[in-house]
Structures are given as C-alpha cells and as structure tokens.
Structure 1
Amino acid sequence: MPNPFRIRVAALTAALVLASSLAGCGDGSKDGDLAAQKLDWKSCPAPDEAEGGGEAPSPLPSGGTWECATMKAPLDWSKPKGATIGLALIRARASGDASKRIGSLIFNFGGPGGSGVTTLPAFGTDYAALRTRYDLVSFDPRGVGRSDPVECENDAQLDNYFQQDATPDTSAERTQLIERTKQFNAACEKNSKAILPHVRTTDAARDMDLMRQVLGDTKMHYFGISYGTELGGVYAHLFPKNVGRAVFDGVVDPTQDPEQSSLGQAKGFQLALDNFAEDCTSKTTECPIGDTPQDVKDRVATLLADLDKKPIPGILPRRLTQSAATNGIAQSLYSKDFWEYLTEGLEEAYDGDGKILMLLSDSMNGRSENGEYSNITAANIAINCADEKPRYTADYVQQKLPEFRAASPLFGDYLAWGMVSCTNWAVPGAADHPDVSAPGSAPILVVGNTGDPATPYEGAKKMVDALGKGVGVELTYKGQGHGAYDSKDKCVQGAVNGYLLEGTVPKAGTVCT
C-alpha cells in the first residue's frame, strides 16, 4: 500500500471540496533542440480524470486568464534526442509593471504525484503579491496528471485497494497485504511499463531546467512545498549555477531513508494529534469528543480498534474501515483549518456514521464524489519506488513495529506497513536518499514549521546543512499544519515575499511566532 501521508497536495486541495461538501500543445522545436521549442499557450481545459476532474480554472480576480500549454521533454534523459513526452504547464502572466517583471516563478506543491496544473489555480490568489513581478507557473511532473500519467488499477479496483486492512494483526492478514501490494504493483508494470523507469526526481529536475530555458529565463526562480522541496534540492544539486531566488516550505529531510522518514512522520502526526486534542479540550465550549487531551486520544484509539473488528457505514456501499478512518484522521491534521472537520467526523463516527471520515480519506486518496480517482496514488508510488533504493519485507516491518508504536500509538502501525509499497516493484530504486548538496548556488530560503506533521520541523535544519555552507537560510515558523506560507502568517509571508520580490535574504535563524 502507499504511504498516503506523503501526499501533500491532495490534502490541501481537499479544503476547497470539503468546504462545500461539509458545510494546448507546443509547436515542436528546431532541429531536435527542445530548448528552442515555442509553447502554444491557450485557455485551460477542465482537468481530466488523472488530474482529479472538476471545472476549468476561473478567471483571475485581478483580470486575465489562466493559460495552458504542453512542453516536449525527452522520455529518457540519457537519450536527449530520442523519444519525447508531453509535460502539461499552466501559467498566470505577471500582473504588475512589465518593466519590473523578474521572470517566471515555478511551483511544485508536493506529493510526489500532485497535479500542479490543478493546484496552482486553486490557490493562485494566495500568491497574488508574487504575481506582481512574476509569471506564476506550475506543471504536472512526468507520470502525473496530463503528463504521460502512470496508470495502475481502475476505479473499482482502487476502491477495493483502499478498503484493505493496512495494519495486519495476523499472519494471514500480513500475507493478504503483501499479495494485494504485489497485485497493484503488477498492474502498474502492465499498464505503464514504458514510463516507470523515467519518473525519478532527477528526471523531473532536468525537466524543470528545460522548462526554465523554454520560458526564456536565465535563472530558475522556484517555490517548492513539501516534496517540492526535495525536487528543488535535487535541482540545485544538478544545476547550482542556474538557481535564482528559491523558497522551500514544508521541508523534506533529505538525509533520511524511507524508514527514517516514515518514523519521523509517525512522530509528526502524533504531535499534531496531541495538539488537536489539546486545542479541542482547552476551549471555553465543551469539546464534544473528549473531556481531556488523553480522553480524546483514548476514544480515537478505541474507535479504530472497533473498526478493525467491525467497519461502520461510510459512503454507501462502502464502509468505513480502520485503515480509511486512520487515513481520514491524518488528512485532517495537515491543516488547523481542517480540525473542525475532524471533530465533526469523530463525533459522527462515535454514533455509527463514517461518512465524514470517509470523505476525508477519499480526498487524501484522490477520489472524487463521482467515484473517479486521479492518478496521484499511482504516481506517488511510482516516483517513490523509482527514487528509493530500500525494499522492505513483511518480516522486517514486523520487527520494527515496537519502535513505530513508541513513536505513535495511533499512526505507528499504519506508517510502518506503508513501507512495503515498493515490494516487487518493476524498477530498482536510485538511492537511499536524495543528494541536495549545491555548492555555488544562490541563497535558498528554507522555511520550517514547528508543528508540521508531514515534514517534521527538524528536516529544515537538515536541508540547510545538506545544501551546504552559504546556500540554505533557515526561517522558523512556530505554528501548526503542513507548511508555513499558506498559514498567512504576516512574518512568514513578509520574509518570503521580501526575498522573492526584492532579493532581500532574511537573517539566518529568523523566527516567526
């Protein structure tokens, strides 16, 4: 099974859906030189199923429209003159004085596996200040959305996949989980064999440098969030002299292997649950899901144990299982804005109604209300398994369970068993962890959030150290949720905007509270 807690973009774009639910082609290039291709920008179509479906992006509030194009890139970067694939791009032209335009600001919102073509317009107003001097640009990375998407199982099979018991308690359940994982991975190989070897983060980083050239920029100006910080770090390692002004927010620890990353997330989500429970019970009005923080957590643990024995009605005909409930709870912990949904979902689940927790889980998994899945899970697994060398067995995970349970009684088992997702994957993994050393790069602003569940705060310092002396500049936000800029904290946004718009590097060690 995947490690869905790593899928950041689905968790954030779900906010728009939950708020209502719960309350063109390029024209080629000259002589095979892909850097010389001219993009044919046109009005954006509605997102396709692999991107998550929905409406075409609305006009920009300040005037203008979103434009889309397709950029050609080599399928295999070791054969740059060989077969090509099309990468879907989206942009909003700079809104300010043309004489003060800096260039393009390229966004990657994370995942891996998230569609930038759908996410940027969903949150475009949050970056209005940056648009005064930049064209805002994002893209579907290779294997994602409309960029030659990885395809594995169909919608009905995915419904079954996400209903499986992801925290096996017996030998028979462990065997079933491993066999189901093999079945999913075999479907990926059958349906996407040609693209699977070419979706590594290093491939996406090379695509971004081609994008920089095609967009006409001498430097890569970049805003990476969550996994996007890893992609940005790999880009800086490969092309340090091409880095312009770059910001990493919600920072992945580049020194960790998959096991260490999963263990860190167990601690991070446990901390977020602790903070949620404390917040609910500290309010003047009565907390409907517990009298004390420990009572809240005890009741959640009891609910999950009960669901393991007997699921409750969810979104019919599906039932809310222990795994779906755990996934839905994790989804809610990505942002403090989601905590009200978690409270309501738990309250209803205690009364036997699992609909809200299932909606939360569905949004994490990229399932729309009409039952169609985006390709975020398939792409997430494909990219992670192509990047990550370790392959973990059921016996190894079983040995590690005590350590994971100590890190998080609630999420430990779930994250530990997520490590088997690359079992029998068709493509070998590239490395234990990414190389982000970038001597000679321009300064990169690295923003860490002390309450971040998905990319724990300690990763920001590790990223700064790994980038190398004089490159990473750390800024700390004492807050909750995944990432910092979208918290709308004035201190954080002032520092980020000051760097991206004016080139003013904040003092290393700046703290925003």
Structure 2
Amino acid sequence: MPIPPRPRAAALAAIAVLVTSALAACGSESKDVDLTSQSLSWKDCPAPSESEGGGAAPSPLPGGATWQCATMKAPLDWAKPKGDTIDLALVRAKTSGPADRRIGSLVFNFGGPGGSGVTTLPAFGSEYAKLRTRYDLVSFDPRGVGRSDGVKCENDEQLDHYFQQDSTPDDSAETKKLVDNVTRFNNACEKNSGKTLPHVATTDAARDMDLMRQVLGDDKLYYFGISYGTELGGVYAHLFPKNVGRAVFDGVVDPTQNSEESALGQTKGFQLALDNYAKDCTSKVTECPVGATPGEVKAKIAKLLKSLETKPIPGSFPRKLTQTAATNGIAQSLYSKDFWEYLTEGLAQAYQGDGKILMLLSDSMNGRNDDGTYSNIQAANVAVNCADDKARYTVANVQAKLPQFRAASPVFGDYMAWGMLSCTHWAVPGAANHPVVSAAGSAPIVVVGNTGDPATPYGGAKRMVDALGKGVGVEVTYRGQGHGAYDSGNKCVQGVVDTYLLNGTVPKAGTVCK
C-alpha cells in the first residue's frame, strides 16, 4: 500500500519538472581496524543511481564549484564494531570562503526517513550559499537509503500495482486484500534485504553521523536537520550530547508521540493545510477553478475521491488515477505552498476526467521516475519506521481508530489510519514507542516550527524543545505554510538560522517570524 509518509523534507524540485513537462553491498570481511582513521577519497559525483532516483550528475554550483562524492565505511552492526561493514555514500561542496574562516562541515539530513541526501543537497545547494561561506556542505544517504545498501522490496512492475491498490477498504474482502498486499511487500523486503533490515534504526544512523564527524575531522557535529532529520538530530544529541556543535532543527518531529499519535497528528496537519489551500484559492481576485468557497472546494475534492474508488480516470498511460493515487497526490502538493498552483490545475483537470497531474504528484511522493523505475525512498521509509516503532497494529486496531481519524480529516482520515498497518508481519521488531532525545549538556539547538506545517505539525516544535531539556532547545516560530521554514525563503527565518550557524549567536527563545 502507499505508505503515508512519516515527516520528510519537501524536496519537491522534481514535481515542477514533471508537471511542466549500483547499490553498495555490505562488506563480508571482519574489519579489525579503527574506522575513525579511514581516509575519504573524494571524486566528482556520478549520476544518481536508480535507487537514489536517477537523473543526471549534479551541476556545478554558481561560481563553478563541483559536487564531490565519497564512500565511508561503518559497522553493519554497531553492537559488533569490528565485524562486517556497510558502505555509506556521502556528498560535499567545499567551502567558498577563506580557509581561516572555515568552521568545519555542516551535515544535512533532509528527512524521510528514506530521502537521499546525496541527491537532495545538490538539488538545493544554491539555497545554502551563505552557509557555504564558512562550512563545507555535506550530506549522505543514510544506511538503507539509495547507494548506502538501499533496502530493496518489490520490483518496479509490482510497485506500480502496489501504489495503485485500494488503501481504504470498505468491507472484509477489500481489507483482506490490503493486508495480503502489505504482507507480500514486507516479505519481499525481508527476502531482498534481510541482512540490512535489523540495522537501519535511527540510533544506527546517529552513530554513523558521529563516525562521520570524526572522519571529516571535526571536534563537534555541525548539523542541519529537516523533518525526520530533526528526529535523527535529537537522537544524536541524546547519544552524544557533548559532541553537538551548532545545530538547527527545521520542520520538527514530535518526539513524544508513538506511531499512532504521529499518524493522527499528520492527519490533522494535512487537513489544516488543505483548509488553508481552499481559503487561499477562493480569496484571490481571479476565480478559483475548483470551487467558489472553501467549503465547496473541499466538498468537490471529497466527491472526486469517492468517485475514483469505483471509477478511476486516465492518469499516466497506461495507469489510471485511483482514489489512493489521487489522495497521495493531493497530500504531496500540500508539502509546499509553491505547489498549490499544481494542485489547482490537477484538480481542475481531474474534474474534466484527466488525472495526469495528480498522478505525477503521487509518483513524486512514491519515488517513481520518468522511465517507470522507482527509487527506494518508500522501501527505506518503511524499513526505518518499522525498525524504530515498537507498535504493530492489527485490522481491529485500525477499525477502532477510524472514527477518530475521520473526525480529524474527512479527506485523509481513512488513508492515514489504514497506513498504520505498514509494519504488519515485519521481519524485525521495533525498538521503542517513541524516540529518546533528552540531551543534557548539549550546546544550544535552534528548533524552528511552522504554524501551517502539514507533515510535522507546529506543536511538535515545543515538545521537542521540552524533551531536549532545559537550556538546550531554543524555539523559533514561523507563521507560514508548507513543510519546514528555512526553504520557504522567509528572510527572518533564514537570518536567525544563518546568524546562529555562522556566528554562534543564539536567537532569543520565542522569536517569531512572519
């Protein structure tokens, strides 16, 4: 089934293109060496692998600087640090400023879990030009993602069917089919990536980052975490509080929630974003083509989704736009206000029987490339979440919760509730009910929450600050729309973040940007 994503960054550059127009293996030898002393061999980056999303090699930055890639070895099992190793893919752009002003490496994680930092950082690198004046910009494919022994589940043809299925069953026969499909997908993950699945938890990735810090030659970790990257950063701060340098969390995961609470929170968040979209569309001088009032916009969307359940419309040939694909595409468009115009165009087309734009949006969410191949973002998303989350929900659990989810959102409620079955019959037990991020003794961490965020609702920022502990988290509020704040282009947010990361000036707690 399409997996309602846990919070992830709005790395959506590919959507604009779509709408307007070899995996590294685990080492098999025992390594009786000190991995902190390894030397990275940086070379010009190749074209992204299929598992990273494919496409062309990253273009040079303004000024001609090139993106360089390298591979770092880490223990496959951190409980056996001298056992088998795993290769982790890294990317960097060296600092543009003078050497005597260089602070170190600024490590990015853009979220997911499952997003490839090796492809995302170059796609957005120009937006961090100011930060590059004093840092090397660095990101990576976390273990299980992209070229870092990316988790493999079903093949491309199977995934086309999987992401088209009815993920909101109405009777026992449809429910059985959904459970069977989830089980088949999860069994394929075990068959194709069984050696990796026990070792892709967020705690493993956090330990990888501390090794990375040492291999990069930094005494402290300088870090910019977005969406799920804030959870990874919080776990790192808990495990290595004394090693935290300057860190920023943007689009903040609520670390106090279990997977059910997180799913319900996202349901409310996406409904809020849809409400805001409907108000925005109908408030403009020109007529909103998908409804005259906010209520009419949402009613027509609900009617469209209901009709697609039994009568899909043409999407991207030969596939049709199903209810699931349309819901997924609508959710994807709400990650950024920049893509509300595509939602409007996509809905207007769908009302005329053409589902191509909504399907392209859904494909972007699912990691489907132009040529019909898939990145492994959804496979990795499931693998990390199921390694992290202890809960394993049953059909009865979901059915009991459906009224609560439907009350939170008539559009997304069923879809998000049934998504809780994602870890059914998963091969590896989950670690905990929620991440532990308490970080007494850490340097200050700037925590930026967005009041209109659909994927990581605003309340999570305050709870992250509280969970980090007294004197660690410093909350900043952005009164805006979309997932995250820094990449919105808001000058106030960027000024606060840049001033902290570049100069070490901690913002006043409670700072508000509009």
**TM-score normalised by length of structure 1:** 0.98
Give per-residue Cα distances to partners, 1:437-493, cap 9 Å, x unaligned.
000000000000000000000000000000000000000000000000001111100
CA distance in 2, matches of 1:84, 1:135: 26
Partner of 2:3: 3
Matched residue type, 2:461: A
Alpha-carbon distance in 2 for matches of 1:327, 1:383 = 20
Distance 1:5 1:154 in 2: 20
- CA RMSD in angstroms, aligned pairs only: 1.4
Question: What is the SS of the residue equivalent to 2:5?
Answer: helix
- Is 1:18 the counterpart of 2:19? The answer is no
Q: Deviations over 1:134-190 (max 9, x none)?
A: 000000000000001100000000001001100111111111100110000000000
Give how far 1:18 is off.
2.2
The residue aligned with 1:206 is: 207
Q: Secondary structure at the match of 1:8?
A: coil
Measure, in 1, the Cα distance between the counterparts of 2:348 and 2:406. 25
What does residue 329 of structure 2 align with? Answer: 328
What one-letter code is carried by the residue in structure 1 that aligns with 2:82?
K
CA separation of 1:30 and 1:170: change in aligned 2, threshold 3 A = closer
Provide, for residues 402-441 of structure 1, a one-character-per-residue CA deviation record: whole Å limited to 9, x for no partner. 0000000100000000000000000000000000000000
Deviation at 1:63, TM superposition (A): 2.3
Contact map agreement 1:101 1:134 (CA 8 A) in 2: yes
Distance 2:208 2:147 in 1: 15
Identical columns (%):
75
Shift of 1:64: 1.5
Kept in 1: contact 2:114–2:376 (CA 8 A):
yes
1:427 lines up with 2:428 in the alignment: yes
Aligned pairs for 1:183-332 within 5 A: 183-332=184-333
CA distance in 1, matches of 2:408, 2:154: 33
SS in 2 for 1:123: helix
SS of the residue aligned with 1:495?
helix
Q: Secondary structure at the match of 2:346?
A: helix
Does residue 458 of the first structure (1) align with residue 459 of the second (2)?
Answer: yes
What is the deviation of 1:16?
A: 3.6
Structure 1 residues 20 and 310, CA, compared in 2 at 3 Å: closer, same or farther?
Answer: closer
Write the distance in 2 (CA, Å) between the matches of 1:348 and 1:178: 32
Q: Secondary structure at the match of 1:297?
A: helix
Cα deviation digits, residues 340-365 of structure 1 (max 9, x gap): 00000000000000000000000000
Q: Mark the CA change 1:356 to 1:95 in structure 2 (over 3 Å): closer, same or farther.
A: same
Contact 2:13–2:123, Cα closer than 8 Å, also in 1: no
- Spell out the pairing of 1:379-394 with structure 2 (5 A cutoff): 379-394=380-395
Query: Tell me, what secondary structure is at the counterpart of 1:302?
Result: helix
- Give the structure 1 partner of residue 114 of structure 2: 113
The residue that corresponds to 2:474 in the other structure is 473
Distance 1:334 1:176 in 2: 30
The count of residues paired between Structure 1 and Structure 2 equals 509
Give secondary structure in 2 for the equivalent of 1:13.
coil
How far apart in 2 are the matches of 1:30 and 1:214?
Answer: 17
Unaligned runs of 5+ in 2: none
Letter in 2 for 1:335: S
CA distance in 2, matches of 1:339, 1:292: 16
Tell me the residue number matched to 2:447. 446
Give distance in 1, aligned partners of 2:31 and 2:162. 46
Change (3 A) 1:49 1:181: same
Deviations 1:392-411 (A, max 9, x none): 00111011000000000100
Amino acid at match of 2:74: A
Q: 2:250 touches 2:484 (CA, 8 Å); kept in 1?
A: yes
Q: Aligned-pair distance for 1:17?
A: 4.2
Work out whether residues 387 and 431 of structure 1, in 8 Å CA contact, stay in contact via their aligned partners in 2.
yes
CA distance in 2, matches of 1:346, 1:21: 13
Which residue number corresponds to residue 153 of structure 2?
152
Normalising by structure 2, we get a TM-score of 0.97
Q: 1:2 to 1:241 in 2, by over 3 A?
A: farther
Q: Is the 8 A contact 1:7 1:380 kept in 2?
A: no
Alpha-carbon distance, 1:120 to partner: 0.1
1:508 equivalent in structure 2: 509
- Please state how far the C-alpha of 1:4 moved relative to its aligned partner: 3.1
